[in-house]
Chains A and B, each alone.
Chain A
């Protein structure tokens, strides 16, 4: 007994070390998922405090400044630290399996992306501990973010933190583009790729093109704040609208970064549980591409209230309305996929159907404010809050939960409980509608966004109270999910290789997959490699690898490099040159050691 304790400690330490140094896309996917879910719960907690504050007029739960910090961090967290990295969890775990690869193209860069994301997210949230969380909104409009109007370090945490996260996203974006373009199994032509992989590819192209735009905007902001430049300073001839154009030129494509992966998930789940191939595969793929391209031409619809003039307003109204067409086409194709199918309403399928039902509402309210005059009454009110939560909760989050239930057996080799899952689903969907549907009216009846208190005379107390109750129902739903995970951890039923009889390659190997993924790299002959051409009929792949498979070992240099970036950022934040130089030193050492590290371990 006495000797077993240190042995266990050693195992634990080496186990942690194996996670820190891992370059296995599957383990990195799990790391992304766990971290993102933790941030999701944190962002949800922030939302609950806000809903408590708004449950009645002048509730006095938190101060004005605390409230401003909460909505800033709620938005920033949910966009950059929850939904994006949850999507990244699926990119990491699922995409190499779906295309028949052994890993991503650059496994160590992949680990680097994850560590930069995690440390960047922690960096931003440390601001709460020093009482200076970002408080100028997730959109950080100039010139409120200037040193004059935001003298504290709040905005510095935000501006530096977002740039760190941008590094993670761009590195991951390049990695996945190269992976999907180059590492597909023989026979997997582009138009045979699973739709989830397609949407991943499209999303990564948006990431690598959109993030540089916000990086530019943030560099300007940082220079204005730190070195006294005048990009956004009106008094010195700068221009506050420059920020808005740059931010939304990034910000609207960002919306598609959030929603396209969920659309990809839904496009996998619905055919599996309908026992039918996706209806109009090519149209679904092309509409995704079209959404990504059109997404670049609509940014000024976030700025109708600025008064850009009737011509600009008309053009951006038209481009915005155009986006509704490919989006609608996707919805019709999903419904047509189910039509004539044999629908098995597993929890994953319920979340996907919930996605469609709620995304329709979010899409229609989106069309309503594509009309600039109507938008003048709706923008910056709770109507918009309702709209984008239908898209991001009803859409992205339900889609991601659908993916969690769908791929969980593959990732962990155990089935999540279906009966607990159904509680999770109904609580989430009912809670979300109870929270966000009344917000349409709250906004139209005159309540602006981002206010910590409101006048009782507005007559909006009851509706706000209903929204608060809904938010708690949603929170309960998420706790039920946590309960489901814990239950499954201990008692979950073991999953076989293909528990749902899915058609894609990730179901061709045992659950969880061996470290080398495929025993033999498969040759792909159709879009549905595990289903036979005419009719649903699962086909297994060979079991054991015929020969040894070489895999690269782990590396801690990506982690070291990521730490260097964070230390440099801390130096920038505190204005300490020595800390910044130390960080840059670690960064340089990390990059060199990484580059010179022998490939064979």
Chain B
């Protein structure tokens, strides 16, 4: 076969290149680089339970992979057709071999199944007594969080205290969504007409990324969130801030006052709540929106600039968004942004 010999020369280089590319990716993934939404770098008991199980299974899979691919490679090298090859012996099978390679995977599977079932029962979403209850309500395309223990209502950024168990009780106002903050553990679907549960206890302070993981319509990709894990004093401070009424109108700057007027007159009040100003329930509660680090379900930074981008054309940032484009001048947009940032 001439074709084979000509190809053999160029092939190793291409293969080597492809293998190298894949290896580089594998190493960068394992190196613990900056992956804020990674399932491989858990920071909660739920996440660590899954990670430990995942690593057990991964090593078994790698073991099986090496053995079977090696068998394949050895076979194709050893028995490739050569001039000296004789007519092969016509073997039809071997009962002993069939039994052994039926049993071998069964044994491997037992080593996977036992820790699996143990982990299933440990991570089934039941939280210990005294857990912090958070009600999660999913909307197209944002997240609403209620803290019945404190009477706090917020959106898109969930704060939890480090070390204290947290129990999420989740439901949806419209279609099926899925709550997924990978560092804190696995995802769970959030469905209309049902309540589903996640329980976890975060073990290190910091901000983790999350995102809806069940396709939920046009802006599924834009349904993101942040979970902020605070130390206990930080969490208490956050709760206190959420409970404090917004600053009285007279303390606002002139631009912020103009923003408040726009908030009142440009339809915002129909959908949004700002304590003491409006009581809309269609969109996120904005009473303390200035204290959040992101806006529009974490697709933009919560800065004057980010807010201006969002307020001047919401459907451009989040296609399909219920929040319409309101005709406003640049100054009006800046004023409204300044007012929202003052709400912290």
- Partner-B contacts on A (CB < 8 A): 63-65, 68, 135-137, 141, 143-144, 149, 234-235, 239-241, 274-277, 279-283, 305-307, 309-310, 313-314, 317-318, 321-322, 324-325, 328-329, 331-333, 335-336, 338-345, 353, 356-357, 360-361, 364-365, 367-368, 370-381, 418-419, 422, 426, 430, 433-434, 437-438, 441, 444-455, 457-460, 462-463, 466, 534-536
Complex CA gap A309/B4 in Å reads 55
Q: Mark B84-115, 1 if CB is under 8 A from A, else 0.
A: 01111111111001100110011001001100
Q: Quick one: which of B15, B37, B215 contacts A137, CB cutoff 8 A?
A: B215
Our pick among B15, B18, B79 for the contact of A339 (Cβ within 8 Å) is B79
Residues of A within 8 A of B211 (CB): 446, 448, 451
A-B contact pairs, 18 of them (CB 8 A): A64-B222, A64-B320, A143-B176, A240-B176, A305-B213, A313-B120, A314-B120, A324-B105, A332-B68, A342-B85, A379-B187, A422-B7, A446-B211, A457-B36, A459-B35, A463-B29, A534-B90, A535-B87
Among A65, A141, A368, A373, contact of B215 (Cβ-Cβ < 8 Å)? A141
> Which segment of B49-57, B150-158, B263-271, B274-282 sits at the interface?
B49-57
Partner of A343, one of B57, B81, B182: B81
Give which listed residue, B21, B57, B101, B185, contacts A434 with CB less than 8 A. B21
Q: Is the CB of A343 within 8 A of B213?
A: no
- Is the pair B319, A374 in contact by a Cβ cutoff of 8 Å? no
CA distance A450 to B186 in the complex (A): 18
CB-CB under 8 A from A378, the residues of chain B are 39
Closest to B14 in A: A430
Task: Kindly state whether residue B75 has any CB partner on chain A within 8 Å.
Answer: yes
Residue-wise, chain B 159-199 has the 8 Å CB interface mask toward A (1 for contact) of 00000000000000011101010100111110111101100
Q: Which of A279, A356, A449, A451 contacts B93 (CB 8 A)?
A: A279
B33 beta carbon closer than 8 Å to chain A:
yes
**Chain B residues whose C-beta falls within 8 Å of the C-beta of A307 in the assembled complex:** 125, 188-189, 196-197
Residues of A within 8 A of B249 (CB): none
**Once the chains bind, are A446 and B75 in contact (CB under 8 Å)?**
no
Q: Which of B58-66, B227-235, B304-312 contacts A (4 or more CB under 8 A)?
A: B58-66
Contact for B175 among A143, A332, A447, A448, CB less than 8 A? A143
Q: Please tell me if the beta carbons of A438 and B58 are within 8 angstroms of each other in the complex.
A: no
Contact partner, B319, options A64, A329, A343, A361, Cβ 8 Å: A64
Assign chain B's interface to a size class.
35 or more
Given contacts A234-B193, A324-B109, A380-B187, contact A341 B121 (CB under 8 A): no
Which residues of A are found within 8 Å of B69, using beta-carbon distances? 357, 360
In the complex, the chain A residue whose C-beta lies closest to that of B121 is A310
B182 and A377 within 8 A (CB): yes
Of B22, B50, B88, which one neighbours A342 at CB under 8 angstroms?
B88
Report chain A residues within 8 Å CB of B39.
377-378, 444-446
The reply to whether the CB of B25 lies closer than 8 angstroms to some CB of chain A is yes
Contact of B3 among A318, A353, A418 (CB under 8 A): A418
Asked if B218 contacts A68 (CB within 8 A), the reply is yes
Chain B residues positioned under 8 Å from A535 (CB to CB): 87, 90
Binding site secondary structure of chain A:
helix
- Report yes or no: B37 in contact with A446, Cβ–Cβ below 8 A: yes
A430 / chain B contacts, CB cutoff of 8 Å:
14-15, 18
Residue of B nearest to A473 (CB): B18
- A373-B49, A377-B182, A438-B25 are known contacts. Are A426 and B38 too (CB-CB below 8 A)? no
Q: CB of B237 within 8 A of chain A?
A: no
Minimum C-beta distance from B126 to chain A (A):
10
A376 touches B185 (CB 8 A): yes
Q: CB-CB < 8 A to B109: which residues of A? A: 321-322, 324-325, 367
Residues of B within 8 A of A135 (CB): 218
Compute how far the CA of A136 lies from the CA of B28 in the bound complex, rounded to whole angstroms: 34
- Whether A344 and B81, one on each chain, are in contact in the complex, defined by CB atoms closer than 8 angstroms, is yes
Whole-angstrom distance between the alpha carbons of A516 and B208 in the complex?
68
From A338, which residue of chain B is reached at the shortest CB distance? Answer: B75
From known contacts A307-B125, A313-B120, A459-B35, infer whether A240 and B192 are also in contact, taking CB-CB under 8 Å.
yes
Cα A331 to Cα B186 in complex, Å, equals 32
B124 in contact with A380 (CB, 8 Å): no
Chain A: CB-nearest residue to B71: A335
B247 at the interface (CB under 8 A from A): no
Interface 1/0 per residue, B1-39 and A, CB below 8 Å: 101101100010011001001100110110001111111
Measured CB to CB, the closest approach of chain B to A537, in angstroms, equals: 9
Instruction: Find out whether the CB atom of A444 lies under 8 angstroms from the CB atom of B91.
Output: no
| Alpha-carbon distance A451/B213, docked complex (angstroms) | 9
Q: A373-B50, A466-B25 are in contact. Are A305 and B178 (CB under 8 A)?
A: yes
> Which single residue of chain B is at the shortest CB-CB distance from A361?
B65
Once bound together, how far apart are the Cα atoms of A372 and B122, in whole Å? 12
Which residues of A are found within 8 Å of B50, using beta-carbon distances?
373-374, 376-377
Residues on the A chain within 8 Å of B97, using CB? 280, 332, 336
- Which residues of the partner chain B approach A380 to less than 8 Å between Cβ atoms? 178, 180, 187, 213-215
Contact A454 B54 (CB under 8 A): no
A343 / chain B contacts, CB cutoff of 8 Å:
75-76, 79-81
Pick from A338, A365, A449: contact of B76, CB below 8 A: A338
Query: With A137-B215, A376-B188 as given contacts, are A426 and B11 in contact (CB-CB < 8 Å)?
Result: yes
* Distance of A435 from chain B, by nearest CB (Å): 11
* In the complex, chain B residues whose CB is within 8 Å of the CB of A328: 101, 105
Q: Are A454 and B189 in contact (CB under 8 A)?
A: no
Report the separation of the CA atoms of residues A375 and B113 in the bound assembly, to the nearest whole angstrom.
13
Asked if B113 contacts A65 (CB within 8 A), the reply is no
> Measured between alpha carbons, how far is A262 from B90 in the docked complex, in Å?
24
Min CB–CB distance A165 → chain B (angstroms) = 22
B302 within 8 A of A: no
Q: Smallest Cβ distance from A477 to chain B, in angstroms?
A: 12
Q: Look across to chain A and name the residue whose beta carbon is closest to the beta carbon of B100.
A: A332
Please give, as numbers and ranges, the residues of chain B lying within 8 Å of A344 by CB-CB distance: 81
Find out whether the CB atom of A441 lies under 8 angstroms from the CB atom of B29.
Answer: yes
Name the contact of A451 in the complex, choosing from B94, B125, B220 (C-beta under 8 A): B220
The answer to whether A357 and B88 touch across the interface, beta carbons within 8 angstroms, is no
Bound Cα distance A276, B39 (Å) = 46
Closest 3 CB pairs of A and B: A376-B186, A446-B37, A451-B221
A528, B52: Cα distance in complex, Å:
50
Closest chain-A Cβ to B174's Cβ sits at a distance in Å of 7
Whether, in the assembled complex, B209 has its beta carbon less than 8 Å from a beta carbon of chain A, the answer is yes
Max count, chain B CB within 10 A of own CB: residue among A64, A281, A361: A64
B12 to chain A, nearest CB (A): 11
Taken together as a complex, chains A and B put the C-alpha atoms of A342 and B80 apart, in Å, by 6
Contact with B81, one of A64, A321, A342 (Cβ below 8 angstroms): A342
Contact A310 B112 (CB under 8 A): no
B116 and A149 within 8 A (CB): no
Whether, in the assembled complex, B257 has its beta carbon less than 8 Å from a beta carbon of chain A, the answer is no
Residues of B within 8 A of A317 (CB): 113, 116-117, 120
Complex alpha-carbon distance, A380 and B37, angstroms:
14
Task: Known contacts A144-B176, A372-B120, A455-B209; decide if A279 and B85 are in contact (CB<8 Å).
Answer: no
Query: Contact between B87 and A342 (Cβ–Cβ < 8 Å)?
Result: yes
* Chain B residues closer than 8 Å to A466, beta-carbon distance: 21, 25
Residues of A within 8 A of B121 (CB): 310
Measured CB to CB, the nearest residue on chain A to B118 is A373
A332 and B101 contact, CB distance less than 8 A: yes
B25 and A463 contacting across the interface, CB-CB below 8 Å: yes
Residues of chain B within 8 A (CB-CB) of A137 are 215
B174 touches A149 (CB 8 A): yes
CB contact under 8 A between A367 and B29, given known A143-B176, A317-B120: no
With most chain A CB atoms within 10 A of its CB, the pick from B88, B121, B178 is: B88
The answer to whether B40 has its CB under 8 Å from any CB of chain A is: yes
Distance (whole angstroms) from the CB of A459 to the closest CB of chain B: 5
B136 at the interface (CB under 8 A from A): no
Say whether B292 faces chain A, with CB atoms less than 8 Å apart: no
In the complex, B258 has a CB within 8 A of chain A:
no
Whether the pair B72, A374 counts as a contact (CB closer than 8 A) is no
Cβ contact within 8 Å between A241 and B209: no
A337 to chain B: closest residue by CB: B91
> Are B25 and A441 closer than 8 Å at their CB atoms?
yes
Known: A64-B219, A274-B88, A377-B186. A325 touches B113 (CB 8 A): no
